[in-house]
Amino acid sequence: MLLHFIWIYNQIFSFALQTVTTTTMTTEMIDLQDGHPNHRLWQKMIDTGRSSAGNCANLLRNDASINTVEEFLDTLINSSHYDRRIRPFFDQHKPCNVTMTIHINTISAINEVNMDYNTDLIFRQSWYDPRLNYSGTDWAKKSPQITLHYSLIDRIWVPDSFFRNAKEGKRSDITVPNRLIRIHLDGKVLYSQRLLLKLDCQMKLQKFPLDNQTCVVNIGSYGFDTNDLAFFWDEAQNISAIRVNEDLEMPDFVLSNHEARYCNRTTATG
């Protein structure tokens, strides 16, 4: 039996969501002028998105007391000027571009009855966050890139990417959580994680056992639309964004091909 995998990055156009968001912001602005009780929080979120990049760079550039990497990181991702709830480029009203690659370690437990299979893969995403740009500081010369402890992932913004046709899934935690986050001096962020997934595959078994099956893997943003996030397969230097372990073996199956595609869709809620 032959298997053909199609990996789709699904970008959502949500016109309804955009309309609702615009209306809500207009209402909040009117309420703020009338003394809305949440006006301080709202203003802080807007101001943080607009000015945090400059504030962080100035702090790192001017604070001579920052001598250790611990002090540097505490300043770089301090919640007083970095708000992880706000996506990059929010203040510029343009989407954050996220590129991704996938390395498939194994494909196993292919089940024709339940129409699913298991996969062990490395999921990597990259994007720029200008708030984390520390070029022009002394630390740029000392550490042009910094690999963070996995516990610090919860202190910076990350995309809300998810596998739409996943039945089950978890991160690998052997022997520690298999997550990596690396910040470059220009604000580029690399986020890599090892995932163990059970994915749905709608099979056509009319010609079983001499059949060819195509399994679609659908990845997208759970909440953002294309006004906020733009996804791209990372195919720099003509290297495929989908890479498969050369030693991959599947009993009773042969992986005939794999390819990366794009798909746009419109939903009512985003």
How confident is the model over 13-51, as pLDDT tens digits?
A: 322 222 222 222 222 332 334 444 444 443 444 344 444
CATH of the domain at 132: 2.70.170.10
In the chain, count of helices (H) and strands (E)? 4, 12
Of 181, 159, 155, residue with least CA distance to 82: 155
**Residue 165 in this model has a pLDDT that exceeds 80:** yes
**Residue 169 in this model has a pLDDT that exceeds 50:** yes
Domain count, the chain: 1
Q: Are 9 and 262 in contact (CB under 8 A)?
A: yes
Per-residue pLDDT, 134 = 93
Report the greatest alpha carbon distance in the chain: 72
- Quickly state the pLDDT bin for 190 (edges 50, 70, 90): very high
Backbone angles phi, psi at 98, to 5 degrees: -120, 125
Chain-centroid distance, C-alpha 114 = 29
- Quickly state the pLDDT bin for 129 (edges 50, 70, 90): very high
Task: Summarize pLDDT for 73-112 with one digit per residue, the tens.
Answer: 888 998 888 999 999 999 999 999 999 999 999 999 999 8
- Quickly state the pLDDT bin for 211 (edges 50, 70, 90): confident
Q: Which domain holds residue 220?
A: 2-266
CA 141 – CA 128 distance, rounded (Å)? 19
**Residue 12 in this model has a pLDDT that exceeds 50:** no
Q: Which residue has the higher pLDDT, 215 or 24?
A: 215
* pLDDT more than 90, % of the chain: 47
Per-residue pLDDT, 57 = 57
Pairing between β-strand 116-128 and β-strand 161-163 as defined by DSSP bridges: unpaired
User: Residues 226-239: what's their mean pLDDT?
Assistant: 86
Per-residue pLDDT, 21 = 25
Q: Calculate the alpha carbon distances from 210 to 204, 213, 216 in Å.
A: 11, 10, 20
Both tokens assigned to 118:
């298991």
Write out the DSSP string of 63-129: -TT--SHHHHHHHHT-TTT--TTS-TTTTTT-PEEEEEEEEEEEEEEEETTTTEEEEEEEEEEEEE-
CA 124 – CA 165 distance, rounded (Å)? 19
CA 179 – CA 245 distance, rounded (Å)? 19
